Structure 1
């Protein structure tokens, strides 16, 4: 999928252009990522890279309806802190940053904001912010979306194993398509691929239909990888990204402007 229009980034506008953009581009898309381990073969910025690319492609696809705001490069990653290079914000700090960011946009007249998060660890905080904004900013409409989860069919089509996810087939495929220079194919290794490989407590944390149990990733995988990234291809990544962009763009076009 190729965008039909140009990408307007708030960071590249003057203050006068930003004032006009409030009327001409009533939606701000905010890419949110994380700075955390992605196994031996992928960059710490993987989640942000994917979010930024998706945000740009959506903005191009909806041609003029949206501007892309400054990225949020750090996220909620305490579950990856056992691996070198990981930097995390607390849930409170991340939520406060998002809330104050959105409040600034609101002061200048924007009433629709969409956060594209490449990191699942941000989801709970974004949900909390959304609930708070219903009270503090009742005239603001705040939405957020994950990336990979919107392309479940494309991911399933890759033939992923029983355990997959972080730094696995789907994430690696996206990076091979979007930023291949940040992937080291010779260093990709299989991580945890089956429930049988996990200790009993970690096994419980990966099963659906049960109470949620949050564990650090070094309890789930010695390499920080869930799945087998060696099976990923750039073609798979293109299918995933296309599906994600299409679904988000459809949402944006259907989102009433008033």
Structure 2
């Protein structure tokens, strides 16, 4: 279960929990700031529009419980909204333009740099942000000199043994994966009786894919009537708990490694 503003992440490692004086005095040589980016958008009939942002906050909250408090790893206020224009037309979707999202991240990064921080992780839990954030990460690096990292936990392949082959290929939105996680972290927000299974049919094509090899531009209404791409009826809280346990084990180690990373050492022989 997940509760906002509770636990080590929020009490000990939530950067704006500190005063300006405290932040100014923080040791920053091995500090890492984490900016969670999600989305507020439709997720079918059964999941809240907060799903992506909720998963990001919950995952970070759970991960910080596995990181020693002495580490200089800090969570920034999450950005709930994302580039979700592929879901416009479905009620409840609130989308930022690509330009707005880039401006927000650039401004946050520049502010962190002025405060003396050296590393920023863009922690993304919305598929529609992925391409944009890869571009933004490099732009931030060029503009600020910060060491910038990008990570999407749903891309870590931590649940492949728990899903069908069809779900792994086509279950990209509101299906088994996301529904299982929300059932584990906020079960009261899931309407089981409204869960559906709806899969994109690309069986007649040999090379074309939704994500990966050969892609095509789409909006959700092109590929789904319900707003779901996947089988939400197979989701269970037990799967969600296991997925989150695997992901947070990985992230706890990765965050510490990123806080030690020095880009200037890459060219040394």
Match in the other structure for 1:107: 114
Mark the CA change 1:223 to 1:191 in structure 2 (over 3 Å): closer, same or farther.
same
What's 2:162 paired with?
A: 157
**Secondary structure of 2:65's aligned partner:** helix
Deviations 1:79-128 (A, max 9, x none): 11121111111111101101111111111011111121110111122111
For structure 2, list consecutive stretches of 5 or more residues without a partner in the other structure.
1-6, 263-269
Aligned length: 247
**8 Å contact from structure 1 (residues 113, 141) kept in 2:** yes
1:18 aligns with 2:23: yes
Contact 2:202/2:209 (CA < 8 Å) preserved in 1? no
Say whether 1:143 aligns with 2:149: yes
Task: Measure the CA separation in 2 of the matches of 1:40 and 1:25.
Answer: 44
- Alignment partner of 1:195: what SS? coil
Is 1:252 matched up with 2:255? yes
> TM-score, normalized by length of structure 2?
0.84
Q: 1:27 to 1:207 in 2, by over 3 A?
A: closer
Distance 1:71 1:207 in 2: 26
Report the counterpart of residue 210 of structure 2 in structure 1.
206
CA positional deviation for 1:231: 0.5
Q: Is the 8 A contact 1:176 1:233 kept in 2?
A: yes
TM-superposed deviation, 1:15: 1.7
Farther-moved stretch of structure 1 (241-250 vs 102-111): 241-250
- Paired residue secondary structure (1:122): helix
For residues 195-250 of structure 1, give each alpha carbon's deviation from its aligned partner in whole angstroms, at most 9, with x where no partner exists. 35xxx79x94527432x211111111100111111111111111211222222222
Q: Distance in 2 between matches of 1:11 and 1:20?
A: 14
Distance 1:103 1:207 in 2: 32
- Classify the secondary structure of the residue corresponding to 2:230: coil
What corresponds to 2:83 in structure 1? 76
What is the SS of the residue equivalent to 2:177?
helix
1:39 aligns with 2:44: yes
1:98 aligns with 2:105: yes
Contact 1:32 1:71 in 2 (8 A): yes
Please tell me whether the aligned partners of residues 30 and 55 of structure 1 are also in contact (alpha carbons under 8 angstroms).
Answer: no
Alignment of 1:49-198 (within 5 A): 49-64=54-69, 65=71, 66-138=73-145, 140-150=146-156, 152-159=157-164, 161=166, 163-192=170-199, 194-196=201-203
- Give the secondary-structure state (helix, strand or coil) at the position aligned to 2:99: helix
Q: Give the drift of 1:155.
A: 3.3
Superposition deviation, residue 168 in structure 1: 0.3
Q: Equivalents in 1 of 2:87, 2:75: separation in Å?
A: 28
TM score, norm. by length of structure 1: 0.87
The residue number in structure 1 matching 2:266 is none
Q: 1:125 to 1:20 in 2, by over 3 A?
A: same
Q: Which moved more, 1:222-231 or 1:240-249?
A: 240-249
Question: After the TM superposition, which of the residue ranges 235-244 and 22-31 deviates more from structure 2?
Answer: 22-31
